[in-house]
Amino acid sequence: MATRQEEARQAREAKLDELHDKLIGAVERLVTGDDWADALRFAAKFRSRSFNNVLLIWEQHQAAFEQGRVPEPFPTYVAGYKQWQQLGRQVEKGQAGYQILAPVTGRFASANPSDPASWRRLNRGEKPKPGETVRSKMVGVRPAYVWDVSQTTGDPLPTKPEPQLLTGEAPAGLREGLAGRIGSEGFELLWVPHEGMIGGANGLTNFETRQVAVRTNMDDAAQVKTEGHELAHVLMHGPDQEARRHRGIGEIEAESVALMIGAAHGMDTSEYTIPYVAGWAAAVDGKNPVEVVQAVGERIRKTAIDILDGLDTIQVSDGTPPGLDRDTQRRPPERGPGRAAPAVEPEEARPERAGRGL
């Protein structure tokens, strides 16, 4: 007869399997359709979340919309149950939360921190020996829950400035901000009169001469989008990069970063078309398209955030409710040498209350 602890473990594993199936299903739809641009625009508005958790939120909110449980097809702000309470709002009765992946951490101690083999895990309540260093490390994942603001009621959220964009023009300060980052990476930015000067392209990055060129005979917004594309090449595709990538993936990565930068500034990218994911993902030897999309998605998100965090521009929300500082409520898990953490994030666990959760 299974013990209560064993039953709890089996229940958690079942939920993790369910989350995995949802995630793979969302990625497979990206691979077989033209939803990549929509997914990236969505990720740009929820850039405080890992790419995998963005897809999980997207998938579950779409289902909630189709079932009539939420009024809009896309969420606006998401947070945990207690986080909404901190903002004076309450999850409505019967509203199911969206499952995401959150890390499980353990405490480890070592008398010789530079030796990876010296670390030992501390039991609950166990104290380290004198002179030992203690660190928290990720040891697994668990399901956690978040809710969209439309699933809550209560105090109004604080308002924050949103970018206002005129057709054909780039947001104020974006051209200069991207130019400054290109320069800080040691590249000279050249604005050239027409595409004939750069092989018929909109932009060109030359790692040998360390120059970035963008043609000026197109709309201001297109110029700045191309500037962001070339900056992504500078950051992601140089000769010193550890992982050299297929040319098609490199182009999609750069265009995707540019799209996320634009979307984070409210830029209209509706006329911009990204090739079907299957066209380039299937061309990578030794990996199936789902693996490629998952790997590339997080890499794109991190590069776009790195650029956006360095810009002094007005940007759309990152999906965190105004007035809530998630950074003060988390302790980033430390990783042992040579171990990469999965794309998950700290979140509060689901409250054990009837009628809530998935």
Residue-wise pLDDT tens digits, 282-324: 555 666 666 666 677 888 888 988 999 999 998 877 788 887 8
Average pLDDT for 229-234: 93
Largest Cα–Cα distance of the chain, in whole Å? 77
State the pLDDT at residue 103: 82
Comparing 158 with 173, which gets the higher pLDDT? 173
Q: Provide the percentage of residues in the chain whose pLDDT is more than 90.
A: 37
Residue showing tokens 């969420």: 75
State the pLDDT at residue 81: 94
Span 9-33, pLDDT tens digits: 777 777 767 776 777 666 666 655 5
pTM exceeding the 0.75 threshold for the entire prediction: no
Q: Six-digit token pair at 293?
A: 């999309």
- Gap between the Cα atoms of 55 and 70, Å rounded: 17
